[in-house]
Amino acid sequence: MAEDWRGGSKAAISAHLFGDFPAAMDNTVDVFLMVRATHHLNKHEETGGTLSAALADIMRVLKPGGTLGIVQHRAPATNSDDWAKGFKGYVKQDAVIKAVTDAGFEFVKVSEVNANPKDQPTENDFVWRLPPSNKDGSNDHIGESDRMTLKFRKPE
């Protein structure tokens, strides 16, 4: 299926699920991007270890010195930790940084390129109230979610 994505390119493409990366991928990947995905893994961390298992897979396949980039809907620091586990689409930036550094990655920097101060969710809100998910236009004045953009590095 992934081969269909390459169009006319001769570059090889493959797709794998976390927990199913072949050993041949170990220490071969330059950059791994997780875009708006961390909340899906974090919300089941307590019961299934999904985020820590995914981070272990990423650590295994990245080359030494390789980059992990994360873009994620950012929960306000003032909202409760329980609300910010990911079920509403948001995760706290400090929690993501802690989970990733606990997995052995070095934190490099944060960028505010995807920040949106108009997104101020309450504990009754979820990220899908915003565009592009919400198609009725009721929250177009807010725009897309406030997102953290984080860069990590696998140690040499």
* Number of independent structural domains in the chain: 1
**pLDDT tens digits along 85-120:** 999 999 999 999 999 999 999 999 999 999 999 999
Tell me whether residue 69 is in a domain: yes
| Cα distances (Å, whole numbers) of residue 3 to 6, 10, 11, 29, 89 | 6, 10, 9, 18, 30
Q: What is the pLDDT of residues 58-70, one digit of tens each?
A: 999 999 999 999 9
Domain that holds residue 49: 37-153
> 77 in a domain, yes or no?
yes
Residue 74 CA: distances (Å) to CA of 19, 128, 133? 26, 13, 16
pLDDT at 93: 99
CA-to-CA distance for 61 and 26, rounded, in angstroms? 4
64 occurs within a structural domain: yes
Task: Please report whether residue 140 resides in a domain.
Answer: yes
- Say if 92 falls within a structural domain: yes
Q: Specify the amino acid at residue 41.
A: L
Residue 23 belongs to some domain of the structure: no
The answer to whether the bond into 121 is cis (omega within 30° of 0) is: no
The verdict on residue 7 lying in a domain is no
In whole angstroms, give the CA distance from residue 47 to residue 111: 31
- What pLDDT is recorded for position 1? 58
Is residue 27 in a domain? no
